[in-house]
Amino acid sequence: MSGKADPRPAGKGTTSRTRLDRGRGALGPALELVHTGRAPTRAVLTAELGVTRATAGAVAAELEALGLIRVDARPGAAAGSQGRPSHRLSVAEDGPVALAAQVHSDGFRAALVGLGGRIVATAPGCEVIDADPAKVLGSVVAAGAELLRETGRRCVGAGLAVPSAVAEPEGLALNPLHLAWPAGAPVREIFAGQVRAAGLDGPAFAANDVNLAALAEHRHGAGRGSRDLLCVATGHRGVGGALVLDGLLHSGSSGLALEVGHLAVNPDGRPCHCGGRGCLDVEADPLALLTAAGRAPGPEMSLLKQADDLIRGQYGEPDVRIAAESLIDRLGLGLAGLVNILNPDRIILGGLHRTLLEADPNRLRAVVADRSLWGRSGGVPILACTLDHNSLVGAAELAWQPVLDDPLGALA
């Protein structure tokens, strides 16, 4: 209960009005609890919201009427259990979806993503990214619109993930280094224009791909329950980072925080496109692994897939192992610096870094512990990202956010 005085005059109707307001205010938090899997039953929802059973029941019924969740009033009781089982809550499998789009150096992908981070349909496309962002974003939106037509789903909005820092509040892709796009391209505006031109409903958003991966993992994957979550990942090229604090992305004063790709981890290392030398971006990405292992990258598949396949398939070969270990050591050095500065309670790794962690978890953990003050004392858990296409799921989270904030208002 709020300690503030209610400014409304007491009188007839006030009590029912107050109950209605309170119920509406609980719709968003209730939806988020079901969306993130933290309220699998009505009993848990009641406890988490801190409301009466009747209010929780009304809130769940309203969300079901909006087509967002499913309330199973007759869940099968476990054998031998006592009493009546609580109603089970789940996201509606046939409910609305968000259109998610991702552009990376080797192509793009469109997807429809429902509540719960569930990918309903996906369409990959094109191997060569055009230098004109409007062409690429037009193609990816067209692919998403086709998926919407095929499935007949309602669209709540659209989100785009790009391999670049995205400056706020304008939504400019500042450094799309591995795409041929001009620096500072107004990607959010272009994307929103393509979404409108395709006749799709809802707002349109754009953000950095690793930021979105971190958001998705925090809500649905390896970051669940973490308070200070650090995510570091390679894309198909380069390295990115993100921080989720108390459930919110920490994006800095203008969207550009956690540009971890340009942490120097090897003073004598390769020159980096940022003007520096030995940055994580060029010392610990898929191309760095292939080069260190003496493998010429082929044109037939993405660099990330080639690097992943090399570690998974040939880790026993000395040249591959030595190359992987040098990347692990440099990544560990970068992570240790971040641990000292940020004091995260969990680190999750994606892309090639996930594969490196899985290949030799003890080596990476030892380097981080050895090089960081807090890592040595407490040991920061380092885990692999668990979601497929986490940047796409995160892009959908952007589009879902207005619905999570106010389900009635957003869907009315």
- Region near Zn ion per CB under 5 A, out of 88-96, 271-279, 338-346, 352-360: 271-279
Task: Assess 195 for contact with Zn ion (CB under 5 A).
Answer: no
**Integer Cα distance of 336 and 238 in angstroms:** 19
Task: Assess 270 for contact with Zn ion (CB under 5 A).
Answer: no
- Region near Zn ion per CB under 5 A, out of 102-110, 187-195, 196-204, 275-283: 275-283
Task: Assess 269 for contact with Zn ion (CB under 5 A).
Answer: no
Neighbouring residues of 229: CB distance < 8 A, sequence distance ≥ 6: 214, 217, 218, 223, 243, 244, 245, 344, 345, 346, 347, 348
Provide the mask over 238-267, with x wherever binding to Zn ion is found by CB under 5 A and - wherever it is not.
------------------------x-----
Task: Assess 231 for contact with Zn ion (CB under 5 A).
Answer: no
Q: DSSP H helical segments within 121-260, as ranges?
A: 133-151, 187-197, 209-220
**Integer Cα distance of 247 and 224 in angstroms:** 9
- 3-state DSSP helix/strand/coil % of the chain, to nearest 5: 45, 20, 35
Residue from the set 66, 89, 213, 272 that interacts with Zn ion by CB under 5 A: 272
- Closest distance to Zn ion from the beta carbon of 267 (Å): 13
- Closest distance to Zn ion from the beta carbon of 275 (Å): 7
- Amino acid identity, residue 81? S
- Closest distance to Zn ion from the beta carbon of 276 (Å): 4
Provide the mask over 321-360, with x wherever binding to Zn ion is found by CB under 5 A and - wherever it is not.
----------------------------------------
Q: What is the largest CA-CA distance in the chain?
A: 81
- Region near Zn ion per CB under 5 A, out of 139-147, 192-200, 278-286, 358-366: 278-286
Residue from the set 43, 126, 142, 274 that interacts with Zn ion by CB under 5 A: 274
* Helices vs strands, H then E, count in the chain: 15, 14
Give whichever of 106 and 281 is closer to Zn ion, judged by the CB atom.
281
- Closest distance to Zn ion from the beta carbon of 292 (Å): 17
Task: Assess 174 for contact with Zn ion (CB under 5 A).
Answer: no
Q: Which of 232, 355, 241 is nearest to 305 (CA)?
A: 355
Task: Assess 22 for contact with Zn ion (CB under 5 A).
Answer: no
- Closest distance to Zn ion from the beta carbon of 264 (Å): 8
Say which DSSP state 109 is in: E
Q: How far is CA 181 from the centre of its chain?
A: 23
Task: Assess 193 for contact with Zn ion (CB under 5 A).
Answer: no
**Integer Cα distance of 279 and 198 in angstroms:** 40
Q: How far is CA 375 from the centre of its chain?
A: 25
Q: Which residues bind Zn ion (CB under 5 A)?
A: 262, 272, 274, 276, 279, 281
